[in-house]
A and B are shown apart, each in its own frame.
Chain A
Amino acid sequence: MALDSKIPQGALAEKWTKHKNDINLVNPANKRLIDVIVVGTGLAGGSAAATLAELGYNVKAFCFQDSPRRAHSIAAQGGINAAKNYQGDGDSTYRLFYDTVKGGDYRSREANVYRLAEVSANIIDQCVAQGVPFARDYGGLLDNRSFGGVLVSRTFYAKGQTGQQLLLGAYSAMNRQIGRGKIKMYNRHEMLDVVIVDGKARGIIARNLVTGEIERHAAHAVVLGTGGYGNVFFLSTNAMGSNVTAAWRAHKRGAYFANPCYTQIHPTCIPVSGDHQSKLTLMSESLRNDGRIWVPKHMKDVEAIRSGKLKPTQLAEQDRDYYLERRYPAFGNLVPRDVASRAAKERCDAGYGINATGEAVYLDFAAAIIRYGKEKAHVKGLNENDEALVKELGKEVVKAKYGNLFQMYEKIVDENPYETPMMIFPAVHYTMGGIWVDYNLQTTIPGLYAIGEANFSDHGSNRLGASALMQGLADGYFVLPYTIGDYLSHDIRTGAISTDLPEFEEAEKSAKEIIDHLINNKGTKSVDSFHRRLGKIMWNKCGMSRNEKELKEAIQEISDLRKEFYKEVLVPGTADEFNEQLAKAGRVADFLELGELFAKDALVREESAGGHFREEHQTPEGEAKRRTEFQFVSAWEYKGEPKDAVLHKEALVYENIEVKERSYK
């Protein structure tokens, strides 16, 4: 099947408006006759479910968590971008569009990104109306901060818990509709398959995670807002439950999977401490506004710090290497995430890592504390030269900005980041790749939509900070509710879809077969042991830098591991009870397939772009080197084993932005 991105004709700035005017609508009386299933209730799924129900559709929403409030969107810290130009620093829709395309290393779809920038301002209004407590300045106006890869301040935030506050907004909007009976909420349900009738997505098979019962649910359209697949690396900042299963099963039914190798490794996470660890913790990128990243300049100091003989605070200024400021004077500590992560890896690979594992760098707030303290002392008419006073005042300011993050750090690492620099290291955080969608956010299966992190379209090969919340909410509140109407307008006379159709029977049978196989397998090894091994292969061979030899090895190793999994895995308990291990086994089985496709995609993409860094393709300074012949989206069609997947290419055309070398110097 040829890919049709369905980008509307006309000038870039007019496309979305024109498209909205051209597409079909469903009248309010007919919306009552139409059912929509939304899987996933984070920012994308939650906002979509709430909006579709508000419009009048009958919505069934599913999440595997105990409550939509447990969706991983809740963990987003730093903020949400919007082109409001409240700071008067020259921001505009075009600039947000430009920064996003450039930040994504010219691998995202122009029309989608422009629309994202366009609706970004609406999101802030919507959320303020819901009562989301965004930070405000002294005069009561909404405040902004700056994030990586941009030269303006356009990030709206609620302390270091923006995702949580936005999710509570979407959740309240959802609950209002649950109360009205317009959303039927299915907590603790996991989607296992999408059901296709006459070529259209008409329902899902879900497992009730509490009773183990397999259920059929029908609808006129299905929306996946099921997040990303970062947990294929085992260790990531994602919640332990985050998984690829819904997306992968949809892929197996015909939805193309785009750019699986585009993964974001976030530069500021708490370093790995040992083998027992099961998850990593992010420290918001907003910290790079005020924190300076460094390692010692001299090896003897590195050794002294590692052995505990020297404290980082004792090291003189001239003996520190602020490597981001050195390499990228224009953007300094605020370079995009992929650049910052690779720079940290470069220093640590060269032996300058400052902890026992050699995989950590410093993020230092001492300079910011003094700077803020002096300003505060000046404002209050106090002695600016009183060092202790200035420090105290400065700490107060930093606490007001990042207090909860500092507290979190102290709880995990047992060091006080107000007194000594934080230790950080890159970790897997977000996946830019995902299910291929057209301009309407429809997948290659008619009637199946993918929104938020689950789709691929807006961030290219690298996402800018504070853009995930923006995209999730843009898709859910402002894009999908329009575009899905165009599709559903043909279903006003269809009537309810029956779950007795043979297609439902077949899908249920196939879901049960997978479960039966897993539960009846007489293996000896735990599910987690396979997940850990998969993660190790992914991190070592498909991580921050990749090369042909290792990618080929990874493909073979993952394929072997998958075979071993089906032979050796042990899933305790039964299928008809609450069985976490069984749910996990199904997810790991899917990760074992996705992982191989991931490596294959990375192998085929013989260039470096954003988060995808191929060692064979770099500039003499070690920067990513793109190749024009790879200016396309890789969309993979499922054909059985991942090695047999067929590549379809969607050419990326840039008419409104000049494709050039991405430089942050």
Chain B
Amino acid sequence: MNLTLKIWRQKSANDKGKLVDYKISDVSPDMSFLEMLDVKQSIDRKRRISCSF
């Protein structure tokens, strides 16, 4: 499955924060929501930013 996730990103309480789009592929229907986010993490690794959810 290919999905587009809209994830709220906010570095700290003082930061304004915004929704960021993530396109992810290779999502299996057997995955839990959190396991799907693991797939998203592999994208983050490439971008060298930490996950904040």
Q: List A residues at the B interface (Cβ < 8 Å).
A: 273-274, 276-278, 526, 528, 570, 572-574, 577-582
B 37-50 binary contact with A (CB < 8 Å = 1; else 0): 01101101101111
Chain A, residue nearest B34 (CB): A278
Chain A, residue nearest B47 (CB): A572
- Specify which chain A residues have a CB less than 8 angstroms from the CB of B21 in the assembled complex: none
Interface pair A526/B51, CB less than 8 Å apart: no
Would you list 11 pairs from A and B whose C-beta atoms are within 8 A, ordered by A residue?
A276-B28, A276-B31, A276-B38, A276-B39, A526-B42, A572-B49, A572-B50, A572-B51, A573-B48, A579-B50, A580-B51
Q: Does B2 contact A (CB under 8 A)?
A: no
- Complex CA distance for A573 and B11, rounded to whole angstroms: 10
Q: Given known contacts A526-B41, A528-B38, A577-B11, is B30 in contact with A274 (CB within 8 Å)? A: yes
- Complex CA distance for A574 and B50, rounded to whole angstroms: 8
Distance (whole angstroms) from the CB of A252 to the closest CB of chain B: 26
- Complex CA distance for A578 and B9, rounded to whole angstroms: 12
Chain A, residue nearest B30 (CB): A273
- Specify which chain A residues have a CB less than 8 angstroms from the CB of B35 in the assembled complex: 276-278
Q: Does B12 contact A (CB under 8 A)?
A: yes
- Specify which chain A residues have a CB less than 8 angstroms from the CB of B42 in the assembled complex: 526
- Complex CA distance for A528 and B35, rounded to whole angstroms: 12
Q: Does B52 contact A (CB under 8 A)?
A: yes
Q: Which of B11, B35, B44, B50 counts the most A-chain CB atoms under 10 A from its CB?
A: B50
Which listed residue (A273, A574, A581) contacts B51, Cβ 8 A? A581
- Complex CA distance for A422 and B20, rounded to whole angstroms: 41
How extensive is the interface on chain B, given as a class? 10 to 19
Chain B, residue nearest A273 (CB): B30
Distance (whole angstroms) from the CB of A142 to the closest CB of chain B: 36
Chain A, residue nearest B11 (CB): A577
Interface pair B45/A580, CB less than 8 Å apart: no
Distance (whole angstroms) from the CB of A236 to the closest CB of chain B: 15
Distance (whole angstroms) from the CB of B19 to the closest CB of chain A: 18
Distance (whole angstroms) from the CB of A56 to the closest CB of chain B: 36
Interface pair B28/A573, CB less than 8 Å apart: no
Q: Which of B35, B45, B47, B51 counts the most A-chain CB atoms under 10 A from its CB?
A: B45
Chain B, residue nearest A240 (CB): B34
- Specify which chain B residues have a CB less than 8 angstroms from the CB of A528 in the assembled complex: 38, 41
- Specify which chain B residues have a CB less than 8 angstroms from the CB of A579 in the assembled complex: 50
Which listed residue (A278, A572, A577, A582) contacts B38, Cβ 8 A? A278
Chain B, residue nearest A582 (CB): B50
- Specify which chain B residues have a CB less than 8 angstroms from the CB of A570 in the assembled complex: 45, 48
Distance (whole angstroms) from the CB of A357 to the closest CB of chain B: 13
Chain B, residue nearest A524 (CB): B45
- Specify which chain A residues have a CB less than 8 angstroms from the CB of B31 in the assembled complex: 276
- Further 12 A-B residue pairs, CB within 8 A, beyond A276-B31, A278-B38, A581-B50: A274-B28, A276-B38, A278-B34, A526-B41, A572-B44, A572-B47, A572-B49, A578-B12, A578-B52, A580-B51, A581-B41, A582-B50
- Specify which chain A residues have a CB less than 8 angstroms from the CB of B52 in the assembled complex: 578, 580
Which listed residue (B12, B39, B49) contacts A573, Cβ 8 A? B49
- Specify which chain A residues have a CB less than 8 angstroms from the CB of B49 in the assembled complex: 572-573
- Complex CA distance for A577 and B10, rounded to whole angstroms: 11
- Specify which chain A residues have a CB less than 8 angstroms from the CB of B44 in the assembled complex: 572
- Specify which chain A residues have a CB less than 8 angstroms from the CB of B12 in the assembled complex: 577-578
- Complex CA distance for A528 and B38, rounded to whole angstroms: 9
Which listed residue (A278, A572, A582) contacts B48, Cβ 8 A? A572
Interface pair A577/B41, CB less than 8 Å apart: no
Chain A, residue nearest B38 (CB): A278
- Specify which chain A residues have a CB less than 8 angstroms from the CB of B45 in the assembled complex: 526, 570, 572
- Specify which chain A residues have a CB less than 8 angstroms from the CB of B11 in the assembled complex: 577
List B residues 1-42 near A (Cβ within 8 Å). Answer: 11-12, 28, 30-31, 34-35, 38-39, 41-42
Chain B, residue nearest A526 (CB): B45
- Specify which chain B residues have a CB less than 8 angstroms from the CB of A574 in the assembled complex: 50
- Complex CA distance for A336 and B49, rounded to whole angstroms: 47
Interface pair A577/B30, CB less than 8 Å apart: no
- Specify which chain B residues have a CB less than 8 angstroms from the CB of A582 in the assembled complex: 50
- Specify which chain B residues have a CB less than 8 angstroms from the CB of A581 in the assembled complex: 41, 50-51
Chain B, residue nearest A412 (CB): B32
Distance (whole angstroms) from the CB of A541 to the closest CB of chain B: 25
- Complex CA distance for A269 and B34, rounded to whole angstroms: 20
Interface pair B50/A580, CB less than 8 Å apart: yes
Q: Which of A276, A578, A581 counts the most B-chain CB atoms under 10 A from its CB?
A: A276
- Specify which chain A residues have a CB less than 8 angstroms from the CB of B34 in the assembled complex: 278
- Specify which chain A residues have a CB less than 8 angstroms from the CB of B38 in the assembled complex: 276, 278, 528
- Complex CA distance for A278 and B11, rounded to whole angstroms: 26
